[in-house]
Structure 1
């Protein structure tokens, strides 16, 4: 069975740690005014990798919560993967120089796959692709636009490119705690040899168990609102991930 990693999520909006409903910036719940504090809490719970998204940056096309990210990096020892508004080579280089372990390229991956491949070749193990899907089709620009490109087809575009991971998010489930879309995740994991991470809708430890039990080689899951709300016990979640 493949290794399985859990990534507690910190979504940044206006310098605060928030959770959204289906990516809607108007439906933001603030969970911590100090994202670095939240990051330390996750590290103390035993998690070994942090998932951070600059929500403002995703819409603006450039980083908008740099100070908060820098404070997170200064506070925790675990690796951090970051997405949101990373669209140029300069963005990539600046964040890697700042200490980010892995960068998630989303909108630019759909708009310019060759750019992502170039970055993956230049920075081995440092570039992940974020595929956000609604009804199986890729959404871009902070989920504000849905394209005609199927998520599985976009994933296939990065075969043998050196991309470290693909993070697939079902927008329709994100923040709703309705259960992870294991079928969508499995379809991508079966289509490519790149490690695929599930995101969106995880509501209980059972979701982690089901992802682990899938015949597809799913390599991890993002944990969001259910972890913040206490529906997922971190100790049990980590146990399920290791089984």
Structure 2
């Protein structure tokens, strides 16, 4: 089912990003994310970056996060002309790193204090996210006492507190059983809808989970030469606007034949990249 929406301000611009070492890794990668507006909703944006292993997803991840300067090109936020700076984009790694010697509340306060004007403002922001994620009862717990799903939610909250509405997630579905994947999908969708400007970029190999959560898919890949051999230097080869295709924001997407058709098409595309 296709839901009506409009596009607002430009939130992220990836402009001809190249990364080279002894050979090209990324070659003129370009992409944009605009604010999705749906009447009566705080929609947020979820973009999934897909591609075969070794294609350069991690390099692009680091460039978007401001952790690595590209060889050429730039990544800019909110229409600004300057490049993204470290800390402006929250990063949730696979192992959900937290300060084990601090409680959940302590972890969040450390993050909130970096971007809050007063201690009271930081406290209110932390409390709001704990309530949003239904984790108020874990505030005094230490990370080692939490389940994997709880640690993930705390890590997401932590990064939202110290970033500017941008969140990068690295393989959040890796090694999870189907039930756990469903919970992670629900968490990501929920986070995206807590603020109109929240923008989540998920790097993943999991095609099915990507279709479940995303409004847009970016497929990173390489060209082949006349002999069929891969040429160094990846770029975004396909952009799938799932919202325009009527495949976004559908809680029952997995029951539709279009879901299976899209998953099959993406897996087939991988074989060419």
- TM-score normalized by structure 2? 0.35
Normalized per residue, which structure has more strand? 1
Where relative contact order (Cα < 8 A, 6+ residues apart) is larger, the structure is: 2
